[in-house]
Amino acid sequence: MSNLNQSAEIPSGIPDLHFGNIAAFATKRLAVAGVIVLVSNEDGTIGMTGHGVNHARANEMLSVGIHLNLSQHYDLVRQGAAGAEAAEHIRDLDNFERKPGARQFRKKPVVVEAITFDELVQHGIDNGANIVGGMPWSFSYKGHPITHENNTCYIVPTLEGSMRFTPDDMLITGVKGEIYPCKKEIFAATYDEVAS
């Protein structure tokens, strides 16, 4: 976390200065394991590249960065950095969130299916996946493509994009057939097994 606010001056004289090289340069210059670089294009779209991170890790890094930046931004606004009127709006939002009588909701009781990492591996083996080093590689689970990243990680498609599924997770099949990983401790706190 200490490297979040570091910056690396990018030399302007590099002839092959493109998006990917900037990420690689920043990774080396900041002495970190990985870097993501965002650019705002002239047409209003956002471009992203990374060095030393996969797609799931880049999304995680963006989420943390957005949260930290928003938190720092709101703290500055509360202190009056954007003017008295903006500070008053933030205080109003703070008070709204704490108002007594705010409505609360309970999650509907929904039955989901879930499997462990070892059960997914066995599913791949049982359903004719290409086996490399004793592990199934690309195969399908409930109509979703599963991709081997390493012997302790598969990449699974979710509604939020590709995510990593490891032995520390349960793979849940949701009410509409979507799949997504959930940490075992969160799963245990959220779900009870249904008697068959």
pLDDT at 117: 97
Residue 13: exposed, middle, or buried by beta-carbon count in 10 A (0-12, 13-18, 19+)? exposed
**In the chain, count of helices (H) and strands (E)?**
5, 11
pLDDT band of 5, cuts 50, 70, 90: very low
State how far the alpha carbon of 57 is from the alpha carbons of 23, 82, 142, in Å.
15, 33, 25
What DSSP designation does 138 have? S
Task: Give the residue, 72 or 4, on which the prediction is more confident.
Answer: 72
Identify whether the C-beta of residue 55 lies closer than 8 Å to the C-beta of residue 40.
Answer: no
% of the chain residues with pLDDT over 70? 55
What DSSP designation does 33 have? S
* Mean pLDDT along residues 171-188: 94
The two tokens of residue 12 are: 């302007």
Task: Give the residue, 29 or 191, on which the prediction is more confident.
Answer: 191
pLDDT band of 35, cuts 50, 70, 90: confident
| Distance of alpha carbon 51 from alpha carbon 69, whole angstroms | 22
Residue 7: exposed, middle, or buried by beta-carbon count in 10 A (0-12, 13-18, 19+)? exposed
| Model pTM score | 0.49
Task: Give the bridge partners for 80, in sequence order.
Answer: none
| Distance of alpha carbon 172 from alpha carbon 36, whole angstroms | 29
Q: SS3 of 32, please?
A: coil
